């Protein structure tokens, strides 16, 4: 669900955050702290020894500029931005948010040269009947093709499955190629030396290739709900079990046909046999692709209750592929919305991020709003749209469309930026701006309370990495400074490690609203735009938040002359104690 963004910072900021990285990670039984201990400030470090008769005294304004860069940036708490972000990453690592995966060596062993028999295995351009292959072999990924043919060589069934087949039939370029096989995960690992197994509920094989490419190989599975009646249940038992159809386990191997039938939608149940050059359709998915419908495999009421996350998947496919949702499927989605809270919050959050990462967040969120699902997935967004009516919808979807245009153009956007763009209309609303004032009295700048609560809830229950939540909060805080609504010292502000990302959010905000274009051009030109009339001052003396720091002056040694130069070292120790 997250991307790793490289942070750059001045050397003194990096050194200030080093003690944080050295702290031991908290135990699993303790709640990890959200912020580390305050790092040592430069003014607390021992100054160099001065010769007798000299005295160091610098301009206080220059000193405050440097202190602003080290201490706050967007955040006027006692921590540097690097320290806050480093603490968030350390807390994420302590909680083990990475998926369970076998350790992959830095350099994988190379695959052996193909045997003479394997060279005869290829994807034909012409089927045995003389007709052309249903999918041009030149459009298939060569590494995925190699995996399929190697599995064939060892006597296993293997097909390209799911989204790659669907996209190729629609004339789209697949993002990745997945493979389903009759081989068990351990058998797959025995065939490919560059293979690792992942997963807790169901083991999957990842076959690694050069450049970090991964081909995912899964074993044919069966839908456990279809196997239960075969175990001896009668009609009464079936009616009883129908009261709660949520699937909590699916570790059941099956056949290719069972694997196709257990999938969610007919368009995702298509298999491609590369050796025969034909599409295998157990679920009538070709018909729905031709008619441009999204339809569940089997009874839509049952399939949606088995896994309500399928609501989000249907919405994503409808928005991404520009397909219509079949009427019975849509009705079942409306009825299953109330079951979304029963799903794992981490799955809901990941599927929500997939919606906004795909460049189709505006149509997807409109469909979720029509289904009344936003109140469960993004409660502040649902409340904002309800409270502000048509004007609120226009503003919110203007932000979503601006973000979609960037994603569609291929611009890489961090998850924190995507989340900040969704929450920008809320943080800009007058009611929420007023709600920020009480939060700032405690010394820690705050975005609107509903946004703070949403981010905290995502971290606590949905496993949103703290680094993403903290970065999102900082990006939202920076917007009022970029727009000129608040004054800050420009030198400190532009040295913040997230300044460029904050400027990207501000640029999309200007595209969405048409406001602040002059300020944007000034920032991009390296200049500092003048603050707006009535802007809030966030200087060192603003609101009594921080006192102006003065550098400690060193006392002149009492001995004077040349003796003072020799005794400077011992004098500095006593001076430090008296200061």
CA distance 473 to 427: 10
In this prediction, residue 449 carries a pLDDT of 84
Distances (CA, A) of 567 to 46, 50, 563, 578, 579: 16, 11, 6, 17, 18
CA distance 164 to 166: 5
- pLDDT of 190-244, one tens digit each? 999 999 999 877 889 999 998 889 999 999 998 876 655 544 444 443 343 445 5
Nearest in space to 202 (alpha carbons), one of 188, 184, 177, 179: 184
Q: Which residue among the candidates 68, 75, 76, 264 is catalytic per the annotation?
A: 264
Both tokens assigned to 276: 């025969």
Q: Which residue among the candidates 64, 167, 178, 273 is catalytic per the annotation?
A: 178
In this prediction, residue 45 carries a pLDDT of 41
| Between 142 and 557, the higher pLDDT residue | 142
Helix (DSSP H) and strand (DSSP E) numbers for the chain = 27, 11
Whether residue 259 lies in the annotated active site: no
Question: Phi-psi category of 111—alpha, beta or left, where left has phi over 0 and alpha has psi -120 to 50?
Answer: beta
- pLDDT of 411-458, one tens digit each? 999 999 999 999 999 988 765 555 554 444 444 556 778 888 888 888
If pLDDT is split at 50, 70 and 90, which confidence band does 483 have?
confident
3-state secondary structure 423-437: HHHHHHCHHHHHHHH
In this prediction, residue 531 carries a pLDDT of 74
CB 266 within 8 Å of CB 297: yes
**Residue 18 confidence (pLDDT) above 50:** no
Maximum mean pLDDT: which of 510-519, 524-533, 550-559: 510-519
Maximum mean pLDDT: which of 59-73, 77-91, 284-298: 284-298
In this prediction, residue 341 carries a pLDDT of 93
Region 51-56: mean pLDDT is 43
CA distance 257 to 260: 5
Region 351-357: mean pLDDT is 93
If pLDDT is split at 50, 70 and 90, which confidence band does 262 have?
very high
| Between 75 and 325, the higher pLDDT residue | 325
Q: Would you tell me the crossing angle of helices 449-461 and 379-408 to the nearest 10 degrees? A: 80
Q: Which residue among the candidates 143, 176, 250, 575 is catalytic per the annotation?
A: 176
Collapsing DSSP to helix, strand or coil, 213 comes out as coil
Q: Would you tell me the crossing angle of helices 499-513 and 517-524 to the nearest 10 degrees? A: 150
Whether residue 250 lies in the annotated active site: no
- pLDDT of 448-475, one tens digit each? 788 888 888 888 878 888 999 999 999 9
Region 54-59: mean pLDDT is 44
**Residue 62 confidence (pLDDT) above 80:** no
Whether residue 281 lies in the annotated active site: no
- pLDDT of 167-195, one tens digit each? 999 999 999 999 999 999 999 999 999 99
3-state secondary structure 8-76: CCCHHHHHHHHHHHHCCCCCCCCCCCCCCCCCCCHHHCCCCCCCCCCCCCCCHHHHHHHHHHHHCCCCC
In this prediction, residue 497 carries a pLDDT of 86
Both tokens assigned to 222: 């069966």
Averaged pLDDT of the chain: 76
**Phi, psi angles (nearest 5°) of residue 105:** -65, 155
Task: Note the helical H segments in 322-465.
Answer: 327-336, 345-357, 361-370, 374-377, 379-408, 415-428, 430-441, 449-461
If pLDDT is split at 50, 70 and 90, which confidence band does 70 have?
very low
Place of tokens 């949606």: 304
Nearest in space to 80 (alpha carbons), one of 32, 23, 40, 26: 40
Model-level pTM?
0.71
**Phi, psi angles (nearest 5°) of residue 35:** -145, 145
* Beta carbons within 10 angstroms of residue 243's beta carbon: 7
- Structural domains of the chain sorted by starting position, each given as residue range(s) with its CATH number in brackets: 62-97+375-542 (1.10.3090), 109-230+242-291 (3.30.460.10)
Collapsing DSSP to helix, strand or coil, 198 comes out as strand
Nearest in space to 566 (alpha carbons), one of 558, 574, 575: 558
In this prediction, residue 237 carries a pLDDT of 39
Place of tokens 């807790």: 200
If pLDDT is split at 50, 70 and 90, which confidence band does 49 have?
very low
């Amino acid at each position: 669900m997250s991307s790793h963004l490289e942070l750059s910072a001045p050397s003194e900021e990096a050194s200030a955050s080093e003690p944080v990285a050295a702290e031991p990670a908290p135990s699993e039984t303790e709640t990890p702290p959200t912020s580390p201990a305050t790092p040592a400030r430069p003014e607390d470090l021992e100054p160099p020894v001065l010769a007798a008769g000299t005295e160091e005294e610098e301009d206080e304004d220059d000193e405050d500029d440097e202190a602003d860069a080290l201490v706050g940036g967007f955040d006027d708490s006692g921590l540097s931005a690097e320290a806050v972000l480093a603490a968030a990453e350390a807390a994420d690592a302590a909680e083990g948010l990475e998926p369970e995966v076998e350790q992959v060596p830095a350099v994988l062993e190379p695959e052996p040269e193909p045997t003479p028999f394997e060279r005869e295995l290829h994807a034909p351009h012409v089927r045995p009947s003389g007709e052309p292959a249903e999918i041009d072999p030149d459009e298939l990924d060569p590494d995925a093709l190699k995996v399929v043919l190697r599995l064939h060589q060892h006597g296993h069934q293997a097909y390209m499955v799911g989204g790659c087949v669907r996209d190729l039939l629609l004339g789209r370029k697949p993002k990745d190629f997945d493979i389903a096989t009759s081989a068990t995960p351990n058998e797959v690992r025995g065939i490919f030396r560059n293979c690792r197994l992942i997963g807790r509920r169901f083991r999957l094989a990842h076959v690694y290739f050069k450049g970090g490419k991964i081909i995912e190989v899964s074993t044919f599975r069966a839908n456990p709900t279809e196997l239960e009646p075969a175990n001896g249940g009668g009609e009464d038992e079936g009616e009883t079990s129908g009261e709660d159809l949520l699937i909590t386990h699916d570790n059941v191997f099956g056949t290719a046909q069972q694997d196709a039938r257990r999938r969610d939608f007919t368009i995702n149940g298509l298999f491609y046999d590369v050796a025969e050059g034909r599409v295998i359709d157990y679920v009538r998915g070709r018909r729905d692709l031709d008619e441009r419908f999204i339809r569940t495999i089997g009874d839509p009421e049952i399939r949606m209750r088995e896994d309500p996350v399928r609501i989000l998947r249907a919405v994503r496919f409808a928005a991404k592929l520009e397909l219509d949702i079949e009427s019975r499927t849509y009705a079942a989605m409306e009825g299953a919305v109330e079951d979304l809270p029963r799903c794992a919050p981490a799955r809901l959050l990941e599927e929500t991020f997939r919606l906004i990462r795909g460049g189709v967040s505006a149509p997807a969120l409109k469909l979720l709003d029509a289904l009344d699902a936003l109140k469960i997935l993004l409660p502040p967004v649902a409340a904002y749209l309800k409270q502000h009516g048509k004007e609120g919808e226009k503003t919110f979807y203007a932000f979503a469309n601006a973000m979609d245009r960037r994603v569609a153009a291929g611009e890489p956007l961090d998850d924190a930026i995507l989340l900040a763009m969704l929450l920008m209309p809320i943080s800009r609303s007058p009611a929420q701006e007023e709600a920020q004032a009480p939060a700032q009295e405690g010394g820690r700048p705050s975005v609107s309370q509903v946004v703070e609560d949403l981010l905290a809830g995502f971290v606590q229950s949905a496993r949103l990495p703290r680094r993403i939540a903290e970065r999102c909060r900082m990006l939202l805080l920076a917007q009022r400074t970029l727009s000129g609504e608040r004054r800050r010292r420009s030198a400190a502000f532009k040295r913040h490690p997230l300044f460029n990302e904050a400027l990207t959010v501000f640029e999309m905000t200007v595209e969405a609203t048409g406001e602040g274009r002059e300020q944007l051009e000034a920032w991009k030109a390296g200049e500092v735009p003048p603050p707006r009339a009535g802007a809030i001052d966030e200087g060192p003396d603003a609101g009594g938040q921080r006192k102006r720091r003065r550098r400690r002056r060193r006392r002149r040694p009492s001995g004077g002359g040349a003796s003072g130069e020799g005794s400077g070292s011992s004098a500095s120790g006593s001076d430090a104690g008296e200061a």
